[in-house]
């Protein structure tokens, strides 16, 4: 049994999380920023599931899976509200460049 | 050996598609690469004995959420070449430096976790056990998520509605 070690999964998840964070800082298109946030949420889900498989009891493993499902649910709600905000901003300003949306700063 | 091969292939595809999401100028291409990333992550979930979560990942993320993304991109006509936004050139190296620093910090914590043995329990990932746990032990958080989803749907309709008055 040459199973994949836990640290391999965690390193992959850390890399995906870092790439997502870099995308949030670099991109100017809010839709792509949302995609990068989804990338980060998925990296966290991967750590949850990889830690869950290394728990000794069945109850602890299932708790990890349930938490991942909650994260997916919250992500769906967040995407719905975020895309609604983007559509509203586009109606108002005809652009969605995050650098030009500074209404609250003026 | 087969598990390592599957993990290596999936990790390679997941990393390259994640880099592609950030590097691509075209949001439609980013979205399609993100779908591929979600599908490889679903395969990884299967290798972690999380069958139900893997299927939910394919249905909800790769299906519903990405359709929503593509729908908004097409609705606002952001896939056209003249709608492409230039990158923030100045902040680019700083952002990559911060991301690399974050990666180093996270990985330095990874190797503190040593000696963890995998305990694959097939029944942990089935819909039966997860559903039972969700509706007994975790029923209150489930209700909160349900309220959050309802509020989110109503809020997004109110936000995107055209002002009639």
pLDDT tier for residue A36 given thresholds of 50, 70 and 90: very high
- pLDDT over 50 (residue B54): yes
What is the predicted pLDDT for the residue at B78?
74
Contacts of A52 in chain B (CB under 8 A): 48, 50, 124
Reported as half-sphere exposure (CB side, CA atoms, 13 A), residue A28 has a value of: 19
Write out pLDDT tens, residues B108-160: 888 787 777 788 888 888 899 999 999 999 999 999 999 999 999 899 888 87
pLDDT mean over A71-94? 88
Q: Give the residue among A13, A73, A18 at the shortest CA–CA distance from A43.
A: A13
A30 Cα to chain B: minimum distance (Å): 10
Q: Does B48 touch chain A (CB under 8 A)?
A: yes
pLDDT of residue B85: 61
Nearest beta carbon to residue A22 from set B22, B45, B148:
B22
Contact assessment for residue A35 and residue B30, using Cβ atoms and an 8 Å cutoff: yes
**CB-based contact, A27 to chain B, within 8 Å:** yes
The length of chain B is 165
B112 vs A37, higher pLDDT = A37
What percentage of chain B reaches a pLDDT higher than 90?
Answer: 50
What share of residues in chain B are helix, strand, coil (percent, to 5)? Answer: 75, 0, 25
CB A77 within 8 A of CB B148: yes
CB B21 within 8 A of CB B15: no
Mean pLDDT of chain B: 87
A-contacting residues in B 103-162 (Cβ below 8 Å):
103, 106-107, 110-111, 113-114, 116-121, 123-125, 129-130, 133-134, 137-138, 141-142, 145, 148-149, 151-153, 155-160, 162
User: What does the alpha-carbon distance between residue B68 and residue B17 come to, in Å, rounded to a whole number?
Assistant: 20
Q: Which is nearest to B82 in space by CA: B144, B160, B8, B26?
A: B26
Closest Cβ–Cβ partner in B69, B116, B155 for A54 = B116
Stretch 64-93 of chain A: residues touching chain B, C-beta under 8 Å = 65-66, 68-70, 72-81, 83-88, 90-91
pLDDT of residue B110: 84
Average pLDDT over residues A3-22: 91
Distances (CA, A) of A63 to A85, B63, B140: 33, 25, 14
Rounded Cα gap, residues B55 and B103, in angstroms: 29
Tokens of residue B28, six digits: 């439609």
Instruction: Give, rounded to a whole angstrom, the gap between the first and last alpha carbons of chain B.
Output: 66
For chains A and B, what is the number of CB pairs under 8 angstroms? 240
Q: How many residues does chain A have?
A: 106
pLDDT reported for residue A1 = 44
Range in A67-76, B28-37, B87-96 with the lowest mean pLDDT = B87-96
Buried b (16+ CB within 10 A) or exposed e, A64-96: bbbbbbbbbbbbbbbbbbbbbebbbbbeeeeeb
Q: Which one-letter DSSP state was computed for residue B62?
A: I
Q: What is the arithmetic mean of pLDDT over B18-43?
A: 92
Facing A80 at nearest CB: one of B22, B94, B152: B152
Eight-state DSSP code of residue B121:
-
Helices B2-23, A30-53: inter-axial angle, 10-degree rounding: 160
CB B66 within 8 A of CB B34: yes
How would residue B83 be classed by pLDDT, with cut points 50, 70 and 90? low
Most A CBs within 10 A among B63, B160, B161, hence the mutation to make, goes to: B160
Q: With contact defined as beta carbons under 8 Å apart, do A77 and B152 qualify?
A: yes
């Amino acid at each position: 049994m040459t199973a994949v070690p836990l640290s391999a999964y965690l390193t992959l998840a850390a890399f995906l999380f870092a790439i997502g964070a870099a995308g949030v800082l670099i991109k100017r298109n809010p839709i792509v920023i949302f995609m990068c946030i989804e990338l980060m949420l998925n990296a966290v889900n991967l750590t949850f599931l990889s830690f869950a498989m290394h728990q000794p009891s069945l109850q602890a493993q299932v708790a990890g899976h349930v938490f991942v499902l909650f994260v997916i649910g919250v992500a769906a709600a967040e995407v719905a509200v975020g895309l609604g905000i983007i559509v509203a901003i586009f109606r108002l300003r005809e652009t969605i460049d995050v650098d030009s949306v500074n209404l609250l700063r003026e | 050996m087969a598990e390592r091969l599957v993990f290596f292939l999936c990790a390679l595809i997941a990393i390259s598609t994640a880099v592609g999401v950030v590097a691509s100028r075209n949001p439609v291409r980013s979205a399609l690469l993100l779908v591929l990333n979600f599908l490889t992550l679903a395969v990884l979930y299967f290798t972690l004995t999380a069958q139900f979560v893997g299927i939910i990942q394919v249905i909800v993320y790769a299906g519903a959420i990405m359709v929503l993304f593509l729908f908004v991109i097409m609705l606002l006509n952001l896939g056209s070449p003249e709608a492409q936004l230039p990158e923030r050139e100045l902040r680019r190296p700083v952002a990559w430096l911060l991301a690399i620093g974050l990666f180093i910090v996270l990985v330095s914590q990874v190797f503190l976790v040593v000696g963890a043995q995998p305990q694959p329990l097939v029944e942990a990932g089935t819909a039966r056990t997860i559903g039972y746990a969700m509706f007994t032990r975790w029923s209150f958080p489930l209700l909160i998520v349900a309220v959050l989803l309802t509020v989110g749907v109503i809020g997004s309709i109110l936000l995107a509605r055209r002002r009639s008055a």
